[in-house]
């Protein structure tokens, strides 16, 4: 958990330097789809890939940097993954669903658009880094070797850096895991401000990969040696987020006015 603690500290230090007049905070939730890209050409030719559907949820923060420029960040629990089917081994089916803590940090610029005489909304574009910490995951494996010994499939959990044969039959051991990963976000969306001090945001974010999940290691199983999970991969994905943010400083100001009014009534 040392890497996770450093991730949180770095994100807090980064955002604390941007504090200005407006700070908004609130829940973020949404669906997402992810897929992997292989570095190894042989892996690209051996497997067909399909996307995995997941979700993310957590706490969002938005800081006004200057006029219409904002820094958006969030602390999210996120599920990503991959699904492979073998081209050479016709019985191969491999699925992994990974659990992450994601900290996207996106610098955006907003544009105002009016609808009629009274209604208006804002849309924005932005770019920035995505810092992720790999918590673990689970999945299943089917292949010809397992079928030959009458094992239908393996339901497994991911473990990290175990010694040889020091992990269970229902585990996939990942050696040399790169658990702290850095990627790139490209983001767009819409902003609605129903009461002036609140923001309702709809965001579409493309995560353009990240550092390798394991630069040298692979995912291995005790019950089969004919399949090793290639982790020289990058996860890419498309996220849709819904956020409800409240201006903290505006809320504090309202509380102060409420207290003053109560004193006057007394």
In the numeric block, which tokens belong to residue 161? 């850096």
Encode pLDDT of 27-55 as tens digits. 999 999 999 998 888 888 899 999 999 99
**CA distances for 80 relative to 132, 185, 212, angstroms:** 11, 15, 14
- The angle subtended at Cα 172 by Cα 170 and Cα 176, nearest 5°, is 155
In the chain, DSSP finds a helix count (H) and a strand count (E) of 4, 13
Strands 119-142 vs 93-115: parallel, antiparallel or unpaired: antiparallel
**The tokens 């999970």 sit on which residue?**
229
pTM higher than 0.75, yes or no? yes
In the numeric block, which tokens belong to residue 14? 């980064």
Encode pLDDT of 162-216 as tens digits. 988 789 999 999 999 999 999 999 999 998 887 767 889 999 999 987 788 998 8
> Domains in the chain, please, with CATH?
2-265 (2.40.160.20)
């Amino acid at each position: 958990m040392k890497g996770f603690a450093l991730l949180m500290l770095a994100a807090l230090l980064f955002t604390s330097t941007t504090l200005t007049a407006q700070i908004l905070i609130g829940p973020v939730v949404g669906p997402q789809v992810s897929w992997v890209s292989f570095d190894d050409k042989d892996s690209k030719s051996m497997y067909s890939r399909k996307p995995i559907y997941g979700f993310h949820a957590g706490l969002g923060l938005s800081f006004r940097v200057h006029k219409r420029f904002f820094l958006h960040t969030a602390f999210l629990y996120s599920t990503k993954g991959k699904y492979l089917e073998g081209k050479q081994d016709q019985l191969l089916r491999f699925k992994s669903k990974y659990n992450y803590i994601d900290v996207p940090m996106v610098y955006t610029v907003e544009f105002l658009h009016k609808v009629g005489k009274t209604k208006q909304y804002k849309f924005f574009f932005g770019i920035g880094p995505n810092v992720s910490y790999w918590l673990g995951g689970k999945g299943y494996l089917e292949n010809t070797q397992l079928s030959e010994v009458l094992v239908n499939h393996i339901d497994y959990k991911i473990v990290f850096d175990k010694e040889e044969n020091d992990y269970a039959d229902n585990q996939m051991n990942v050696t040399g895991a790169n658990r702290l990963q850095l990627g790139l976000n490209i983001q767009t969306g819409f902003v609605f401000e129903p009461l002036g001090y609140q923001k309702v945001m709809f965001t579409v974010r493309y995560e353009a990969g990240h550092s390798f999940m394991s630069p040298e290691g692979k995912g291995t199983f005790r019950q089969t040696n004919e399949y090793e999970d290639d982790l020289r991969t990058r996860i890419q994905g498309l996220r849709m987020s819904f956020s409800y943010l409240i201006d903290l400083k505006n809320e504090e100001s309202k509380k102060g006015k409420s207290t003053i009014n109560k004193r006057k009534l007394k």
